Structure 1
Amino acid sequence: MDLGVLAQPVVLAPVLFFFVALLFSMLGMGGGQLYVPILFWMGFDFTTQAVPLGILLNVIVGGSSTVTYVREQLVDWRIGIPFGIAMIVFAPLGAYATTWFPTETIVAILALFTAAAAVFIASGYQPREELGFSRRAETGVGLGGGSVLGFFAGLIGQGGGVFVVPLLYMLGIEAKVAAATSALVITGAGLSSVVSHLAIASTPIWDLWIGCSIAVLAGSQVGSRLMATRLESETIKKIFGVVLFGIAIVLLYQAFGA
């Protein structure tokens, strides 16, 4: 086997993204936090290749995972639908507001929130009984939470899944249901921006795009089925806590490392 061929970006990227999709689909996220920087580090143009392809892969993972979770009846529709709709509406507003705020400050705040969410989830605390949210109240919280997180997701150019799961868990949603519902939310939110970004990439590198799309589709199916049928909620919480800490570090690096 020619190791030089394996090192080619059009071959290496799909292999890496299969495992990224496998992991992040188990957590109700699409993996966009990694696709874009990895593609950029491999030398692909940020605007016309890395960002649009990263967003497309994020939607593929979310949609593929959602199909599995719907079959397993893990999605909380009452909070997921209003959450997703609110994110679709408010994400463009956040993107428009990028010139109003110091980017470094916003990213630093979100990084601290991410790290705090990791500690919260790892602690095992789940405040449903204390907060006493009714199903109707959860719908309202979905609209409110989706509006806020959608705005901030648009502000920093992220899909939002990293923030959706902690909030759902804080509302008392069981870990597996929170991850499954987040997959639905990020799919809807991603669809609102994927078309415009694809229009920017007028000349995709088709072997890269097709290879990565197939890889994340396969990875998301493996990961979502593992989560739905094999993993316990406690295991998911531990994995998610570690991933959140890693993402918090990446966010801080993006804000202050360059």
Structure 2
Amino acid sequence: MMLSLTAAIVLALAFLFSMLGLGGAMLYIPVFHWFGYDFKSVAIPTGLLLNGVTALSAAVSYLRAGMVDVRGAAPLIVSSFLGAPVGALFTRYVPTETLILLFAAGMILAGGRMLIAAGRPDTRRHMAPGARFALMGAGGFGVGMIAGLLGIGGGFLFVPMMLAMGYPTKQAAATSAFVVVFSSFSGFAGHLAEGHFDWPLMGATLAAVIVGSQLGAKVMRERMKAAWIKRMFGGVLLAVAAKLLWRLFG
């Protein structure tokens, strides 16, 4: 019964986060934790796996629609792929409470940034290719480490980074989904090597993730406006951060 309820919630979350160019781990992980699964050894690796599957399912749809900047995303893909397993190895040294605090802090920063930007039109900034390559490489490695440490794909940081570099909102969300695939599976592999997994939970939620992410990607392509995406993104992140902090200190 608990697995069925968990799968239903995951389906709804996959629908939402695939529209935002995210894998959804930032909500999958708290949900698993609230249902009593261990934060480090179960919630984080399962969240990473589902994060990667959600992002992959959505990214395939975005690639077919020509919305992904594959060439521009290459530095993010390589650097985040290398950084994620490094972060995963550090989870054994960081207390669970510290991980939750870092998790909440990251969501507050990203959520506030997106709400502030929601009322602004997309602006196309022009950066020198070398500067963009260097920023994406350094930023991708850092985000990859954070992703592996906290069990997230890094999309909540990739999207603001690409928006700051001048990507249109929909292209940033679609490209982020593509990048998140690599950082998520790389981080999951790092946790798997540490013996962190729960096969029944993983199996029960994979189908829900695939269905939800395909539906969400279709809605985003055909119906969503950029401002809506930013507001949804920001609001969800702040709400989950508040819930985590309430659980930790309440």
TM-score, normalised to structure 1, is: 0.82
**Alpha-carbon offset, residue 222 of structure 1:** 0.4
- Distance change in 2, residues 1:47/1:107 (3 Å): closer
**Alpha-carbon offset, residue 24 of structure 1:** 0.3
Structure 1 stretches of 4+ with a deviation exceeding 6 A read none
CA distance in 2, matches of 1:48, 1:249: 23
Q: Is the 8 A contact 1:74 1:181 kept in 2?
A: yes
What's the % identity of the aligned pairs? Answer: 34
Task: Name the SS for the 2:199 alignment partner.
Answer: coil
Counterpart in 2 of 1:61?
54
| 2:110 maps to which of 114, 128, 132 | 114
CA distance in 1, matches of 2:202, 2:149: 26
Q: Does 1:192 align with 2:186?
A: yes
Q: What aligned pairs does 1:76-95 form with structure 2 within 5 A after superposition? A: 76-95=69-88
| 2:199 maps to which of 188, 198, 204 | 204
C-alpha RMSD over aligned residues: 2.8
Letter in structure 2 aligned against 1:118? M
Equivalent pairs counted in the alignment come to 246
1:44-64 deviation line (CA, Å, top 9, x unaligned): 444554333222111110111
CA distance in 2, matches of 1:96, 1:183: 24
Structure with larger Rg = 1
| 1:228 maps to which of 218, 221, 226 | 221
**Alpha-carbon offset, residue 65 of structure 1:** 0.7
Counterpart in 1 of 2:161?
167
**Alpha-carbon offset, residue 203 of structure 1:** 6.1
Q: Does 1:149 align with 2:149?
A: no
CA distance in 2, matches of 1:233, 1:215: 26
**Alpha-carbon offset, residue 252 of structure 1:** 4.2
Unmatched segments (≥5 aa) in structure 2 = none
**Alpha-carbon offset, residue 174 of structure 1:** 0.5
1:86-128 deviation line (CA, Å, top 9, x unaligned): 1121233334556489937755653442243133322426554
Counterpart in 1 of 2:98?
103
**Alpha-carbon offset, residue 27 of structure 1:** 0.3
Q: Is the 8 A contact 1:111 1:251 kept in 2?
A: no
TM-score, normalised to structure 2, is: 0.84
Q: Is the 8 A contact 1:114 1:248 kept in 2?
A: no
Unmatched segments (≥5 aa) in structure 1 = 1-7
Counterpart in 2 of 1:16?
9
